[in-house]
């Protein structure tokens, strides 16, 4: 079992969308996957999956009220999800030091645990970074976003977290956007994949759907599948 932290230098780059679709693509490879929301103050995972009204979340586990397995919900896509609560009062009396051990024990029969991290390098973002085996960094295809990723990468390095690479999200193919060479030269990181700008993703968010599941032939879905193959070490072939 591998714990992967999907993180970003700042909010608004589509980190949660990447985490969800990457998990779904790994599941398509017959991997057992669970997504855990570690963004406790501005959680989006539960909203995306229509789980905002559930009474069982990671917050209840961190307060010692329930077992972690009791906070696992199954989406119609087949994905297993551990949401965070939306109510701020559920942030009281939580113990985040127990997360890594709990993930290792509860999900030891899974192939991948995908952590949807809080953005940035603050205390909340460190919860997921300290709990993971490796980190995937999400950025928009612009230099300021890559600068933010570089800061996050340095934090991961200090914690001994393996750097799995950068995913550029919402790529429009413009000349001014950063390239794979830019990522390597500027941040000394390899490009794990590029997700093209795709309105299918936006419409799926409002439909509470996973875009790569509902629209597997969409350009963005193909990009997520290719990334999943890289993570799982499975050869990826495109149809000619």
Residue 240 lies in a domain: no
The backbone torsions φ and ψ at residue 157, rounded to the nearest 5 degrees and listed phi first, read: -60, -40
pTM: 0.94
Residue 238 lies in a domain: no
Tens-place pLDDT, residues 180-210: 999 999 999 999 999 999 999 999 988 889 9
Per-residue pLDDT at 160: 97
What b-and-e string marks burial along 170-188, b requiring 16 or more CB atoms within 10 Å of the CB?
bbeeeeebbeeeebeeebe
Residue 7 lies in a domain: yes
Residue 236 lies in a domain: no
Say how many domains are in the chain. 1
Residue 103 lies in a domain: yes
**Quick one: which of 92, 96, 85, 90 has its CA closest to 42?**
85
Tens-place pLDDT, residues 155-181: 999 999 999 999 999 999 999 999 999
What CATH code is carried by the domain that includes residue 102? 3.40.50.300
CA distance 225 to 205: 19
Whole domain around residue 154: which residue ranges?
A: 2-230
């Amino acid at each position: 079992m591998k714990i992967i932290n999907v993180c970003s230098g700042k909010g608004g780059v589509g980190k949660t969308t990447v985490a969800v679709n990457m998990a779904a693509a790994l599941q398509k490879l017959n991997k057992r996957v669970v997504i855990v929301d570690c963004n406790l103050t501005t959680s989006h995972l539960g909203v995306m999956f229509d789980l905002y009204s559930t009474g069982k979340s990671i917050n209840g586990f961190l307060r010692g009220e329930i077992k972690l397995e009791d906070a696992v919900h199954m989406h119609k896509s087949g994905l297993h999800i551990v949401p965070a609560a939306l109510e701020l009062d559920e942030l009281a009396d939580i113990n985040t030091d127990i997360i890594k051990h709990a993930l290792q024990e509860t999900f030891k029969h899974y192939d991948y645990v995908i952590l949807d991290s809080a953005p940035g390098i603050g205390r909340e973002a460190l919860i997921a970074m300290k709990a993971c085996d490796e980190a995937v960094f999400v950025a928009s295809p612009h230099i300021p976003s890559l600068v933010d990723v570089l800061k996050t990468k340095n934090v991961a390095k200090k914690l001994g977290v393996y750097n799995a690479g950068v995913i550029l999200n919402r790529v429009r193919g413009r000349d001014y956007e950063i390239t794979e060479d830019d990522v390597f030269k500027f941040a000394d990181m390899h490009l794990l994949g590029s997700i093209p700008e795709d309105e299918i993703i936006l419409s799926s968010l409002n439909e509470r759907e996973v875009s790569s599941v509902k629209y597997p032939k969409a350009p963005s879905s193909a990009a997520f599948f290719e990334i999943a193959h890289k993570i799982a070490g499975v050869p990826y072939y495109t149809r000619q």
